[in-house]
Structure 1
Amino acid sequence: MNILYESSIPNGADYFTSLGNAKSFDTGALQPGDLTDCDYLAVRSTTPVTASLLAQAKQLKMVGTATAGINHIDTDYLDNQGINWSSAGGCNAIAVAEYVVSILLKAYQSNKIQPDRITVGIIGAGHVGTALSRLLQSLNISYVLNDPPRQEAGDNRSFVSLEEALSCEVISLHIPYIKDGKYPTANLIHAEHLASLLPHQLFINACRGEVVDEAALKARLQKDNAPTAVLDVFWHEPDIDTDLLNSLWFATGHIAGHSIEGKLRGTQLIYEAFCQARKQPTLLQMDDFLAMPMPIDFMPRDPSVEALSYNELTQLLLSIYDIAEDDRIFRQIMAESNKFAAYRKAYRVRREFNAYTLRLSGVVSEGILRQLTGLGFTLETL
């Protein structure tokens, strides 16, 4: 079993050498001739998998991408050639959801929102939108879902129209980039939608830049009555329009899903897909490679109440992940020169809530315990 894997895949050597003869390649260096004896190919979104790349891959059995998106893979070609493929859909869902939560808590700190008086319009109810809805439920923040394809497919959750989602105090986009078909998302949020946004609204895009008319958004944000906007994604990455950054409350460089767990989970999912294809047992788990952070001592101010205050939640959750730090670093780097790709590659260590154990002293209400476990924490009573 000959495996080629992109060198940027976290712990790729550990995972793939356990399966067979594994060899890495640097991003941008893979050539058709490298695939002549390749059985399994593992990539990230930085390697386009096209018919021309696979022209000499006569024994290729499977392609796996250790990323949630698949726009870089010609899945139609793979299907026509009888080559299996797999993605790591959902690998970064928790991280992106926590990114949005950090924005909401910063907005609360800045008196832009009152969490118990808003509704979040989640546009896209897939892996990320679902993860976000679960966190919002634990935070006692109302939300609505918009996702016509899932609604048509019989998803039994309650859905609203795009217009209703766009009327919410907070709008959070979590849709894939689809150019055509029945439900295309290219420029789904167009100039007319953006013109209708009000100054009190908070607009967040942490999915793909191309789902928003960026020129129209830029023009809208330069007006006096502009909404507040936060972007993690842009058109023409990595050569983005840096002038747009001046109009954004927070800006980051496509790192919303870049937690340590999110990236390693992508490797784990592709490793498992290869194991399944080979009908061999899955011997490695993420815990084999993750160091546990130090426990956090945490005691609610009033352990008898059924929910933490938003001040307590803000203090706890922003101590783990504060978007303001990523915004600061990103703006500094982009002011020096356009180092968008380098910023992503050298992104700092970031852990998800589920990596942490909270050490609670004394008796805490069932409501608070449910809230903390719903946010992903492991709890330990002293």
Structure 2
Amino acid sequence: MKIRFENSMPLAADYLNAFGTAEGFESGSLMPEDLVDVDVLAVRSTTKVDADLLNCANRLALVATATAGYNHIDTGYLKQQGIAWTSAAGCNAQAVAEYVLSVLANAHLSGKLNLRTATIGIVGAGNVGTALSILLDAISVKYQLFDPPLEETGDSRTFADWQSILSCDVITLHVPLVKGDYFPTENMINAAALSQLGKSQLLINACRGEVIDESALKTRLMQPDAPTVVLDVFYNEPNIDTDLLSLIWLATPHIAGHTVEGKLLGTQRVYESVCELSGKTPELTLDDFIASPQAITLQDNDKWLSCSLLPVLKAILSVYDIRDDDRHFRKGLSDGVAFTHMRKNYRVRRELAGHQIVAGFSLHAETLDMLKKLGMRVHSV
């Protein structure tokens, strides 16, 4: 079996060499003639897979993307050609959910909202929305779900209507980009929706830039009663409208899902797809490659002994604080660093489950329970 894989897939060679010849390529360098006699093409979102790229692919059986989204793949063309394809759906769900959790922790600690009384409107109850709801349950924060396609399938969860979502203290977007007549998400946050959001509300977009009408957003943000906005995604990436940054609270270069665990899980899913194609039982798991949990040592402080949400939020931020990425992003752009470069060279970031809280004293029972439900390992006396 001959495999070509995008080099930005972590540990791809370690996973794929067992199947035969596995050769990497740099993003943007793959040419049609490189796919002659290739059986499997494994990519990330930076490689567009369409008829032009595949016109020399004479025996391609599988295209596998190590990303949750697959807008970069012409799935219709693959179907016409009888080529199977897979995505790593859900691989970055935990990472994106924890990104939103970091936003919420910062908003609470800065006085922008009170998580003890706030309601979070989760738009999209798929992999990411579900992961976020589990995190919110862990810290006893109220939320409402909005997902008409899932509701239509008979999903047993309780769903809110659109007007209820627009009345929530926080609206966070986790939908795929869908164009057309069947539950479209393109510009779902339009001028009409934005006009209903006030200065006490927070809007977060960590899915696709086109889900918000960016022109309408700029107009709304220049009004005195505008909502607070956090964006990880933008129109026209990587050539984004940098004028928008001065109008929003926090901004990052499409890295919400870029954790060590999320990226490696994408490679794991590709590996499992190749196993299925070749009729082999998967033998490798994330545990074969992932590093041991990183330790966070707590100082003996009364705040950890109280029954309070505050210490839990600070623990969350000790793992991942979005303000660091916001600061580096804005500085990078001011220094002329390209959006794509910042994504490609993003720092090492672990998820909550990749950390262990170490305390030389007993934590309050409720604090301990919340930390464990968030997925963190805890060692205390």
TM-score interval (norm. to shorter): over 0.9
Secondary structure of the residue that 2:183 maps to in structure 1? coil
| 1:285 matched residue in structure 2 | 285
Query: Which whole-Å CA distance do the structure 2 matches of 1:268 and 1:225 have between them?
Result: 46
Query: Which whole-Å CA distance do the structure 2 matches of 1:50 and 1:312 have between them?
Result: 49
**1:152-171 to 2 correspondences below 5 Å:** 152-171=152-171
> Does structure 1 retain, via aligned residues, the 8 Å contact 2:312–2:370?
no
Query: Which whole-Å CA distance do the structure 1 matches of 2:367 and 2:276 have between them?
Result: 40
The residue type equivalent to 2:347 in the other structure is R
| 2:127 matched residue in structure 1 | 127
| 2:112 matched residue in structure 1 | 112
> Does structure 2 retain, via aligned residues, the 8 Å contact 1:179–1:185?
yes
> Does structure 2 retain, via aligned residues, the 8 Å contact 1:173–1:207?
yes
| 1:330 matched residue in structure 2 | 329
> Structure 1 residue 249 and structure 2 residue 249: aligned?
yes
Task: Measure how far apart 1:379 and its partner are.
Answer: 3.0
The residue type equivalent to 1:314 in the other structure is L
Secondary structure of the residue that 1:115 maps to in structure 2? coil
Q: 1:338 to 1:183 in 2, by over 3 A?
A: farther
The residue type equivalent to 1:203 in the other structure is L
**1:163-242 to 2 correspondences below 5 Å:** 163-242=163-242
Query: Which whole-Å CA distance do the structure 2 matches of 1:332 and 1:269 have between them?
Result: 35
Task: Measure how far apart 1:51 and its partner are.
Answer: 1.6
> Does structure 1 retain, via aligned residues, the 8 Å contact 2:95–2:258?
yes
Query: Which whole-Å CA distance do the structure 1 matches of 2:76 and 2:236 have between them?
Result: 24
Q: Which 4+ residue blocks in structure 1 deviate beyond 6 angstroms?
A: 302-305
**1:28-177 to 2 correspondences below 5 Å:** 28-177=28-177
Query: Which whole-Å CA distance do the structure 2 matches of 1:27 and 1:357 have between them?
Result: 35
**1:255-334 to 2 correspondences below 5 Å:** 255-298=255-298, 301=302, 308-334=307-333
Q: Which runs of 5+ in 1 are unaligned?
A: none
Q: 1:284 to 1:323 in 2, by over 3 A?
A: same
The residue type equivalent to 1:20 in the other structure is G
Q: Which moved more, 1:111-120 or 1:49-58?
A: 49-58
Secondary structure of the residue that 2:18 maps to in structure 1? coil
Query: Which whole-Å CA distance do the structure 2 matches of 1:127 and 1:209 have between them?
Result: 18
| 2:350 matched residue in structure 1 | 351
Secondary structure of the residue that 1:17 maps to in structure 2? helix
Aligned residue pairs total 380
Secondary structure of the residue that 1:182 maps to in structure 2? coil
**TM-score, reference length from structure 1:** 0.95
Task: Measure how far apart 1:313 and its partner are.
Answer: 1.3
Task: Measure how far apart 1:285 and its partner are.
Answer: 1.7
**TM-score, reference length from structure 2:** 0.95
Query: Which whole-Å CA distance do the structure 1 matches of 2:304 and 2:191 have between them?
Result: 48
Q: Which moved more, 1:179-188 or 1:198-207?
A: 179-188
> Does structure 2 retain, via aligned residues, the 8 Å contact 1:116–1:141?
yes
Secondary structure of the residue that 2:116 maps to in structure 1? helix
| 1:22 matched residue in structure 2 | 22
CA-to-partner distance for each residue in 1:259-312, whole Å, 9 max, x for gaps? 11111111111111111221212222222222224323447848887xx52220
Q: Which runs of 5+ in 2 are unaligned?
A: none
Secondary structure of the residue that 1:23 maps to in structure 2? strand
Query: Which whole-Å CA distance do the structure 1 matches of 2:71 and 2:26 have between them?
Result: 20
Query: Which whole-Å CA distance do the structure 1 matches of 2:110 and 2:380 have between them?
Result: 33
Query: Which whole-Å CA distance do the structure 1 matches of 2:125 and 2:301 have between them?
Result: 32
The residue type equivalent to 1:331 in the other structure is R
> Does structure 2 retain, via aligned residues, the 8 Å contact 1:96–1:257?
yes
The residue type equivalent to 2:147 in the other structure is D
Task: Measure how far apart 1:335 and its partner are.
Answer: 1.3
Query: Which whole-Å CA distance do the structure 2 matches of 1:379 and 1:108 have between them?
Result: 24
